[in-house]
């Protein structure tokens, strides 16, 4: 049996092959010290460059091959190292080793990503986010490869290339980048009723998260837990962020894309560098094997979720991300995830989308990383020494000294041996299969609308408005009227009021509700046999599906802008800044110029950012301290007033010292507040009260302000 490694040894092993050039002499890839890295070898100072310059050839050749094909999907990613620790043994349900001992920390590497865009696209695209975790366990690598939404667009992997071809930029002009608001995507979706539930999620605020640290993660598929006695349970995986689940406004997301397209990447990096380590709890929904057919939906259908009201989520452990990558390419870009990387105690189900992924991921890594030896790249390497009969191939690193590379053998004493189940050898769950070969889908997969309606009904009124507005925006970008009409027709089967609100803004009548034909049928199939159905659900609303019910009791890592100029009241500024920092927030002084500003007592106060190099959309809240000269400057500065107007428009907390009320009076805040409307006053603190401001920031947003007349941009 393989020798177990301590947690510290495992973490150290993951860092092997790292290199720092600090204090070192330059060398070629073969270790030869380089005397001149500035000039190529020539025939005389002005002569031709010589072919024999092997140092030049090595350097240029490596540069020419630095870029590898980007991922077809999930190309733009950010990642971090961390650890996972289970709260208590899960032996009752699974024999997976990393879920047994609460004293053991399992190293992890987590990659977050957008799906549709290229590597150079913005972090704030309206999109699904990938949420993939590689556990470096004593039993081998286990990959939980999921998204920030619990369902997906399609039911069968056969349709995955079609989905991605449809959402990618259109092939005639490569437009638009990282966006689904175009004809080919909605053409496909409007012909695929099974996508309706996922469209509700993709058009919701889940698609524009405030931070990668403030979004949930899901395994999407149903998997199996298997314990030491062979007892099987179905399991759904959830990642619950301890900072809550929060989003930005759509207008804000578009502006962030222009102001800082690396917003999420920078946020994750800076949080870890500052010691504010992101944390998630791993949750599981466990369903006894005997209850496989208990529900109105099919557990194997990836377009369905299991409502938490039916099966509560048990939080079984915590993941903490505590170290940034040393090199983006070597780690974040070269990491290779695969849902087929399992450990004993976890197994697949017959979910047809999952089954297709089991082929696709290995095939993709072979294309991207160029070799079946991608597992030898340090970030992909198991903490266990690899022993098998696989040999050679491009970029082989492991040096095998064995005479034999086949099994069975006698020359090598039969080594390496097969591992018995008791020794940790993986055994697939024995499941009886007795059926005919068919290309078909179970009728239990045909309900495409019930959970879409459940999701929409579970949203708060504000969240529902955001879904309506997202659909209006997306479909308004569709140039072919027939596609818009077909899609709005599908929306009538989700919620008639939703469909009408979308149709009105598109300047079209609401199509007569009718059962759409599922176009994803075999050429010789009977369309009537593939008609979508709608099954009555036992619950009509799920509180867990609404972000309005998330954690709102912390301002940890929130970014607060303090608008100040020369003559600022030092006490007002420092008092608020200190209290915000004590509550876990990050403050930045934003002034009209770089360098220092002078306080009212003559102190030099360093400026972090300026009104011309930053924006309100990059902060969670705004504070204006007192000081007559500073207040006069800010009250007359159009950029400062625009900063406050944007914060108000995007429903953020705003506070000012009692002596700085003039600044708010010159902004749109005064106009809105003058109406005497409590909604307009929500999240506005005018007396410099730090506790009230902190409580307001913790609420994240005051979305009810959107009911007011539009705030000038």
Q: Tell me what the mean pLDDT of segment 634-652 comes to.
A: 96
Q: Give the pLDDT band (50/70/90) at residue 396.
A: confident
Which of residues 585 and 440 earns the better pLDDT score?
A: 585
Measured between its terminal Cα atoms, the distance across the chain in Å is 66
Residue-wise pLDDT for 96-117, tens only, equals 999 999 999 999 999 999 999 9
The predicted structure's pLDDT at residue 3: 39
Residue 712 has pLDDT above 80, yes or no: no
Nearest 5°: CA angle at 541, between 535 and 542? Answer: 110
Q: Tell me what the mean pLDDT of segment 110-127 comes to.
A: 97
Number of other residues whose CB lies within 10 A of the CB of residue 341: 20
Least confident of 25-29, 570-574, 624-628: 25-29
Residue-wise pLDDT for 45-71, tens only, equals 888 888 898 888 888 888 888 888 999
SS (H, E, C) 412-456: CCCCCCCCCHHHCCCCCCCCCCCCCCCCCCCHHHCECCHHHHHHH
Q: Could you confirm whether 74 is annotated as catalytic?
A: yes
Residue 499 has pLDDT above 50, yes or no: yes
Say if CB 455 and CB 200 are below 8 A apart. Answer: yes
Beta strand pairing status for 586-591 and 314-323?
Answer: unpaired
The predicted structure's pLDDT at residue 399: 87
Q: Give the pLDDT band (50/70/90) at residue 39.
A: confident
SS (H, E, C) 578-605: HHHHHCCCEEEEEECCCCEEEECCCCEE
Q: Tell me what the mean pLDDT of segment 547-563 comes to.
A: 97
Number of other residues whose CB lies within 10 A of the CB of residue 578: 12
Peptide bond into 408 cis (omega under 30): yes
Number of other residues whose CB lies within 10 A of the CB of residue 22: 5
Residue 4 has pLDDT above 50, yes or no: no
The predicted structure's pLDDT at residue 398: 86
Question: What is this structure's pTM?
Answer: 0.93
Residue 75 has pLDDT above 90, yes or no: yes
Indicate which residue of 17, 39, 62, 147 is catalytic: 147
Indicate which residue of 17, 35, 62, 74 is catalytic: 74
The predicted structure's pLDDT at residue 678: 66
* Tokens of residue 308, six digits: 């938490």
Q: Give the pLDDT band (50/70/90) at residue 533.
A: confident
Q: Alpha carbon of 75 to those of 179, 332, 609: distances in Å?
A: 14, 11, 31
Q: Tell me what the mean pLDDT of segment 141-164 comes to.
A: 95
Which of residues 259 and 385 earns the better pLDDT score?
A: 259
Q: What percent of the chain has pLDDT over 70?
A: 95
- Tell me how far apart the alpha carbons of residues 666 and 711 are, in angstroms, rounded to a whole number: 14
Residue 586 has pLDDT above 90, yes or no: yes
Least confident of 283-292, 294-303, 698-707: 698-707
Q: Could you confirm whether 147 is annotated as catalytic?
A: yes
Number of other residues whose CB lies within 10 A of the CB of residue 48: 8
Q: Alpha carbon of 305 to those of 125, 207, 288, 300: distances in Å?
A: 24, 17, 16, 10
Q: Alpha carbon of 134 to those of 142, 209, 379: distances in Å?
A: 6, 22, 10
Nearest to 348 by CA among 432, 217, 220, 222: 222
Q: Tell me what the mean pLDDT of segment 657-684 comes to.
A: 82
């Amino acid at each position: 049996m393989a020798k177990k490694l301590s947690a510290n040894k495992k973490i150290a092993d993951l860092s092997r092959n790292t290199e720092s050039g600090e204090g070192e002499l330059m060398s070629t890839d073969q270790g030869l010290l380089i005397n001149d890295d500035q000039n190529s070898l020539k025939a005389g100072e002005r002569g031709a460059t010589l072919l024999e310059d092997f140092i030049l050839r090595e350097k240029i050749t490596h540069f020419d091959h630095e870029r590898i094909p980007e991922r077809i999907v999930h190309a733009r990613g950010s990642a971090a190292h961390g650890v996972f620790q289970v709260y208590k043994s899960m032996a009752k349900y699974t024999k997976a080793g990393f879920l047994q001992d609460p004293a053991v920390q399992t190293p992890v590497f987590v990659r977050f990503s957008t799906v549709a865009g290229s590597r150079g696209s913005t972090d704030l695209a309206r999109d699904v986010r990938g949420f993939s975790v590689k556990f470096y366990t004593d039993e081998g690598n286990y990959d939980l490869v999921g998204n920030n939404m619990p369902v997906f667009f399609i039911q069968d992997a056969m349709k995955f290339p079609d989905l991605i071809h449809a959402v990618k930029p259109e092939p005639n002009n490569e437009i638009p980048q990282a966006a689904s608001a175009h004809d080919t995507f909605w053409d496909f979706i409007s012909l695929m009723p099974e996508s309706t539930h996922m469209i509700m999620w993709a058009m919701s605020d889940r698609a524009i998260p405030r931070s990668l640290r403030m979004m949930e993660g899901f395994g999407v598929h149903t998997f199996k837990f298997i314990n030491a006695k062979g007892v099987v349970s179905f399991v759904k995986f959830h990642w619950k962020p301890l900072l809550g689940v929060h989003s930005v406004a759509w207008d804000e997301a578009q502006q962030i894309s222009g102001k800082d397209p690396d917003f999420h990447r920078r946020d994750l990096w800076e949080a870890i560098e500052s010691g504010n380590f992101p944390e998630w709890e791993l949750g599981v929904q466990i369903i006894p094997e005997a209850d496989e057919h208990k529900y109105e939906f099919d557990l194997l259908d990836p377009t369905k979720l299991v409502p938490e009201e039916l099966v509560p989520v048990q939080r079984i452990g915590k993941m903490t991300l505590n170290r940034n990558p040393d090199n983006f390419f070597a780690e974040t870009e070269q990491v290779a995830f695969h849902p087929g990387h399992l450990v004993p105690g976890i197994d697949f189900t017959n979910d047809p989308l999952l089954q297709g992924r089991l082929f696709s991921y290995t095939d993709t890594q072979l294309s991207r990383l160029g070799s079946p030896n991608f597992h030898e790249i340090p970030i992909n390497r198991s903490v266990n020494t690899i022993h098998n009969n696989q040999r050679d191939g491009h970029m082989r690193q492991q040096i095998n000294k064995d005479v034999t590379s086949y099994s069975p053998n006698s020359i090598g004493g039969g080594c390496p041996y097969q591992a018995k189940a008791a020794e940790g050898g993986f055994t697939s769950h024995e499941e009886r299969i007795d059926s005919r070969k068919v290309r078909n889908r179970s009728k239990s997969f045909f309900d495409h609308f019930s959970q879409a309606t459940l999701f929409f009904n579970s949203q708060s009124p504000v969240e529902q408005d955001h879904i309506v507005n997202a659909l209006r925006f997306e479909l308004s970008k569709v140039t072919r009227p027939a596609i818009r009409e077909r899609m709005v027709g599908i929306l009538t089967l989700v919620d008639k009021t939703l469909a009408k609100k979308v149709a009105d803004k598109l300047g079209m009548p609401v199509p007569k509700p009718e059962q759409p034909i599922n176009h994803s049928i075999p050429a010789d199939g009977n369309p009537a046999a593939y008609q979508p159905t709608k099954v009555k659900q036992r619950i009509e609303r799920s509180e867990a599906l609404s972000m309005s019910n998330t954690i709102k009791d912390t301002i940890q890592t929130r970014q607060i802008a303090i608008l100040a100029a020369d003559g600022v009241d030092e006490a007002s500024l420092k008092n608020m800044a200190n209290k915000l920092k004590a509550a876990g927030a990050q403050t930045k002084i934003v002034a009209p110029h770089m360098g220092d500003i002078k306080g009212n007592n003559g102190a030099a106060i360093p400026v972090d950012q300026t009104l011309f190099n930053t924006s309100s959309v990059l902060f969670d809240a705004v504070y204006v301290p007192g000081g007559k000269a500073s207040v006069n400057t800010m009250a007359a500065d159009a950029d400062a007033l625009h900063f406050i107007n944007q914060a108000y428009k995007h429903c953020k907390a705003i506070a000012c010292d009692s002596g700085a009320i003039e600044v708010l009076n010159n902004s749109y805040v005064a106009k809105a507040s003058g109406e005497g409307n409590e909604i307009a006053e929500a999240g506005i603190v005018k007396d410099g009260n730090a506790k009230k401001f902190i409580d307001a920031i913790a609420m994240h947003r005051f979305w009810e302000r959107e009911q007011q007349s539009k705030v000038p941009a």
